[in-house]
Each structure stands twice: as C-alpha cells, then as structure tokens.
Amino acid sequence: MINSIDTKSVNAIRILSADAIQKANSGHPGLPLGAAPMAYTLWTKHLRHNPADPNWVNRDRFILSGGHGSMLLYSLLHLFGYGLTVEDLKNFRQFGSLTPGHPEYRHTVGVEATTGPLGAGMAMSVGMAAAEKHLATVFNEPGFPVVDHYTYVLGGDGCMMEGISYEAFSLAGTLGLSKLIVLYDSNDISIEGGTNIAFRENVAKRFESFGFQTLLVEDGTDINAISKAIEEAKADTEHPSFIQIKTKIGAGCPAKEGKASAHGEPLGADNIKALRENLGWEYEEPFFVPEDVYDNFRSIAENNAKYEEEWNNLFAEYSAKFPEKKALWDKYYDKKLAEELYDNEEFWNTVTVPEATRNISGKCINVMKNVLPNMFGGAADLAPSTKTYMDGLGDFSKETPEGSNMHFGVRELAMAAIGNGIYLHGGLRPYVSTFFVFSDFLKPMARLSSLMKVPNVYVLTHDSIGVGEDGPTHQPIEQLAMFRAMPNFYVWRPADSCETAAAWYFAETSEEKPSALVLSRQKMPQLENSSKEALKGAYILCDSTKEVPDGIIMATGSEVSLAVEAREILLKEGMDVRVVSMPCVDLFEDQSDEYKESVLPSSVTKRVSVEALSTFGWGKYTGLNGKNIGMTTFGASSPAEKLFTHFGITTEAVVEAMKSL
C-alpha cells in the first residue's frame, strides 16, 4: 500500500514543476508530471546522496538525460535542501537564475551533468559507470569497498531514438557495467504526436541484445513496483539494467494527460487549477509546499547523511590500514599533479629526429602515464593509428576492469560523451581519439565539454591533406576553423616535439578547458628554436634582425617548417621577416594585449599565413592586405607530397606571397 505522505510528496514535485513552468510561461511539464513517481521512488528509497555534501565522492550519481524536464530535478533539489530556494524556482528559465531551461553542471548544485541534447546524459552515465568500475578495482580491498556506488540515468523516448544511446549502451553491455541502471520514462509520446509515427521498435529487446537485464513496470504511478524493479536491478551484479516504466506524459492534468501538447508548453492557468483538483492538492497558492512534505524530505536527507558518515569512518580505517593505497588515492584526486611534467626532460624531448606529431604524442602519453597514474582513455577503434595506447597498463574490459586503455569501438559520438562522463565522475583524467576528419561525428559532445568546462582531451590525428592516398573523405579541411570557433575549446596543432609536449601539458593541467591535439600523419622536422613559449599559444620562432620586421609569416603544424625555409630564402633576397608559430590560436587570444602586440606588431602589415586547412579565420591576423595560403576546396587522393604541390602549400608559394605584398 502506498503511504499517503509518499503520494503527497510526489504531487508536491508535480505542482512545483507545473507552477514554475507556468510562471516562466515556458518549459516542459510533461516529463515532470509523468516521471515524478519514479524520480521520487529513486531519490527517497534508493539513491545514496547527502545534500549537506553534494560532492561526497562515493555518492550515487543521478543524471536526468531528458534535460528539458529540468523542473523535475530542480523540484527534487529544492525539496531535499540542496540550496535551491522557492525564489530560485520562481525564477525558472530567467536570466542569471540557478534554474536554467536545461540543467547545467557547475551552475546548479546537485546537477551532475549538462543535459541539453537528448541522449547525451545517457552516454555520460556510461562514462560515470565505467569510471566507478575501474576505480573500484584499483582501490577496493576485502572488507573495504571505498568505491561502491550506482549510476542512475532517466530519460524518455527521445533519448532512446538518438543514435548516441545505441552507441553508448551497446558498449555498456559489452563492458558489463552492472552498476548502471537506466530508468526509461516510456510514455509513447513525442513532440509530433504518438511515437508510432517514427518509432515502433521493441526497446527492451534492443537492450536485451546489448547485454542488459531488462525489467518492466506496467504502472508508472506504483512506487512499490518501481522500488521492487530498482532492487532487482541492483541485485544483478553481471549486467547493467534497463527498467521500462510505463507512464503518461502530463499525468494528473485532465486536458493534457497522454497528449503531445503536454510536452513543451505551460499547462495554462485553468489546467493548473484542474491539476490541483485532480491530484487532491488542496493548496491554491503557487509554489506552496506543506510542512509535512518538507519534513518527509528533510528526514530522508538527514538519514542519508549516515551513509557518508559510515563511508568516512570506513575510509579513515582504510587509509590507516593501506597507507600506500591512500597515497595513490591522493594522486588520483590531485588536480595539480600534472604540473610535475613541467620540469620532466624526458617529456619535453621525446624525439630529436623528424617524426609525425601523432608518434610524438604517443611517446608523451607513455611518459605521462608514469607521472599521472589516473590517465584513462583510448580510441574509436584507431589506437594503432592515433598512437594513444598506454603500454603495460592493460585493457579496460568486463573481464579486466583494472586496465586503463579503453576500446570505444567505432563510436565517436558516444566516445566523446563517455569521456565527459569519466571526468564528471572524478578521479580519472580521460582522453579520447580518432582521425581529425571524424571529429565531425563527436562535435556535439565536444561542445558539451566546453559548456561544462570539462577538460576532456581529444587526440585528433591525420590532420590535413597530409593524409594522402585515403582521399578527400579522410582529409580534414574545415574542421580546424570549426573547433576554433567554439568558445572555451583549445585547439592545438603543434609543429614538433616541444610543441606537442606543450599541448599535452596544457591539456593535462587544465581544470576547465577541453583541448584538441590535432596531429600529423607525416613526419616533420624538429624546430631549432621551439620552446615552452608555445604555452602562450603563439610565439616568435625566428625573428627578424630588424627592430621592425619587413613582414611576418604565421603558421601551424607541418607548415611551420615551410615558413622557416621561406624566411631563409627571403633573407637572401633582401627581405628580413619574422616567423611566428601559432600552435594554439585560442590560447594566444588569452594573452595580454602587450604580449600579442609584441608577437604581431600592428605596425607590420605585410603578413602571410600558411596552414594546410581552410583559410577561414586567418584574416583576423593577416588583415585586409595580407595573404592566406591554405585550402579553399576539398582534397584529393594522392601521395601527400603531390597534394601539397598541387594545392600550392609550398615554401615557394610562401616566398611569392610575401614578395607580392
């Protein structure tokens, strides 16, 4: 039998959500009304969390993948005492409020991930569960399960339709992430109408094929049945679990229940009144919650505090009994540890002969892993090509969760989201990799890295027409400009060993900035004057002997050596120019105006840029009268040397461009 305070508390979630959306005159009431019983059941009877310490390291994670239903989460955070006030709920979707339209990580306490694009939360939950499984094998000792928690994710039909969920959950089943539990708000409604217009598959059978335990709750208002299903999910220690919970969108609102119109618009004043009457909610005042409901949530929160207290006692005993494990734990959670790489000579000088930057990066990774034991990453089935395998650390799999190399399979989009989830969990420094041209597949999740200020590292190799014979489908052109256009995303295209190390140093020491390392397939010479000045994003590689240079050549990656050669030729012909290497334009923009002026003095207007990708964006630095050497078309299938000549990306072309100015 369902307790009356449970019913009243579920309805409080519904009413708060409906009132906030109505006041904002904007939002999505359908999910909060329909999913309130399952969310209440999870948060009050299963989720181990402590509102007094939202960042408790061994808390269960909850991700609302259907982020449009954000008022469901905000109502829970308010009722549980996470710091959201009634005023915050009244400011739902307003400028500067703590209750934006979709949940935002780092912005609202208690939000574990930014979930706007449908399916993204699903994939990030897989990353969190993978991190939990790996860390448990690293740290747990018999009788001391210091890493031991569940990851829950809630979403609806839209999340299930998005391809990212297919990718992510296929991998989750393969990896046997048994502490991952998916709550499927199954209401058969999408924005355009019934889901049968575009979505008739048996979702449970799909998850069964992935390797999930599948469970069904026929009545989404039956909290006892929901609770029983969650218990069954937790009892399966071999498979992740999928719980399909049949609900009605807009539940409780007579005119909207079960209809597409309940999804994404306020209910309206009359329907809000009808909702109250239908639910037996006797309080007419908007946002009012009776004290017995607050008491219910407060008592549960206070009871939950004991879980953290028990864990703290366990961890103290663990630390005393296993001091070497405690020291390792401290390293895993030390965000400043990577700064030790700054004085590591092996890291900065991995090669002294011509070498592809992807190979140099691979050597950097295998130096870093000895300093940063919590590095964890891999590739979308391309590690032999992207050189991202950590030697001697084994593979992360269902059978060997202690391994640190993750095989994502050919799943670029999910890979990026999973990388985000790994970082969000805490304790690990993730990296992901693929060919640069395939970054198109992962761009939406890289954008979430930027929005969340999650320093996920993207190793993107085969960086230009230098790919050669694979042809235009595999040769990136516009991708560099696309990523440079994204706020808070730092794109590195290093020219040699030192600059590649600088890119990795920045990436691993960053706490809020995701990075892309765009690396070459072809060999490149080591530059005589490259230095840690690369950590300023751009620097003078070869200077003019004149106080005011006759001109400036700017370049990145494999084209920097062309610029150096062009300078030598020009010098013999009476032009004394400066060469500026710009491995990270985004970081250069962060420098002081004085530094930027010292590198690119405004008095020098004869400027040439050279980069074997789209010229888009270079006009900012070369000006109206400058020349930009690069790609304005797609590439072609041919040996790389032929392509550089054909498309005019040569030393001679740089010389002629500068002379023409």
> What span, in angstroms and rounded, lies between the C-alpha atoms of 271 and 471?
59
Strands 627-631 and 607-614: parallel
β-bridge mates for residue 243, sequence order: 183, 215
Q: Which two tokens stand for residue 562?
A: 């062309």
Tell me the one-letter amino acid at 636.
A
Active-site option among 412, 499, 559, 611: 412
Residues 6+ apart with CB under 8 A from 95: none
Strands 539-542 and 578-581: antiparallel
Q: For residue 598, how many other CB atoms are within 10 A of its CB?
A: 12
Helix, strand or coil, per DSSP, at residue 612: strand
Strands 515-519 and 490-492: parallel
How far is C-alpha 6 from the geometric centre of its chain's CA atoms? 36
Between the alpha carbon of residue 114 and those of residues 101, 418, 421, the distances in Å are 11, 13, 10
Residues 6+ apart with CB under 8 A from 357: 463, 494, 495, 496, 499, 500, 519, 520, 524, 557
Looking up tokens 């679990």, which residue turns up?
241
Helix, strand or coil, per DSSP, at residue 319: helix
> What stretch of H or E contains 515?
strand 515-519
Helix, strand or coil, per DSSP, at residue 392: coil
DSSP structure string for 551-566: -EEEE-GGGHHHHHHH
> Is 412 in the active site?
yes
Q: Which two tokens stand for residue 648?
A: 């005019």
Whether the Cβ atoms of residue 441 and residue 473 lie closer than 8 Å to each other: no
Whether the Cβ atoms of residue 257 and residue 243 lie closer than 8 Å to each other: no
What is the DSSP-derived secondary structure letter of residue 365? H
How far is C-alpha 288 from the geometric centre of its chain's CA atoms? 37
How far is C-alpha 44 from the geometric centre of its chain's CA atoms? 29
Catalytically active residues are 412
